[in-house]
Amino acid sequence: MTKLSVNINKIAVIRNSRGGNLPDVVLAARNIERFGADGITVHPRPDARHIRYQDVRDLKGAVSTELNVEGNPIESFVALVSEIRPAQVTLVPDAPDAVTSNAGWDTVSNRGFLTDICSHFNSLGIRTSIFVDPVPAMVEGAKLCGAARVELYTEAYASGYVADREMAIARYVEAAETARDCGLGLNAGHDLNLDNLHYFIERIPWCDEVSIGHALISDALYYGLENTVQLYKRCLIL
């Protein structure tokens, strides 16, 4: 069964908007695990506008499932991940001023750089995933870089789902099949929600993990956090 990793960045946004430590991101992570999540995802950015580097350190000692740390592998990020050694690191090519991740890696033109980064993290026993668009060549490139998994950027699927879900999923099935054929593990994230998640997993049942934050935390405002985690978990049942 596909695992659910919950991105808690938005919880940190609420905390940072007021100062202090309310809501407490570590307590939130523990509760989310208790409610049934299989992992916790964070994406610390250099401007610390949501999850901070110290949060990641605190979470390492608190998370009992899997901790997935996403980010652009700049020097400070590589040092942080090397220090805490999470279960998984997801490499994302976002610019420092990006509101959110909006594109996958070009694993062909960045092969040398990504190979060095993957080799470093692999040597520390950290599972390395590369964030890519649903393009078979980019998936194959990730394999050549030494990644263990790819994470498919799902914005195009989500934006096309209502109009024509068959057309929207087609590129993702092709990319997912390429990952499977290459021997890569498969993650997906960014724009999955209660409306489109089950169909995605129905068509790509070998997906190892989905990482969902913005939609899940938003839904929790209406349905409650415990109930929302369970609603997303039910979407993963085939």
Positions annotated as catalytic residues are: 43, 70, 190
**E runs forming strands in 72-222:** 88-91, 127-132, 149-153, 185-189, 209-212
Cα dihedral across residues 134, 138, 144, 147: positive or negative: negative
- Angle, CA of 40, 161 and 175, to the nearest 5°: 65
For 172-200, b where at least 16 C-beta lie within 10 A, e where not — what string?
beebbebbeebebbbbbbbbbbbebbbbb
Tell me how far the alpha carbon of residue 49 is from its chain's centroid: 18
Angstrom distance (rounded) from CA 117 to CA 162: 38
CB-based burial label for 215 (10 Å; 0-12, 13-18, 19+): buried
CB 138 within 8 A of CB 106: yes
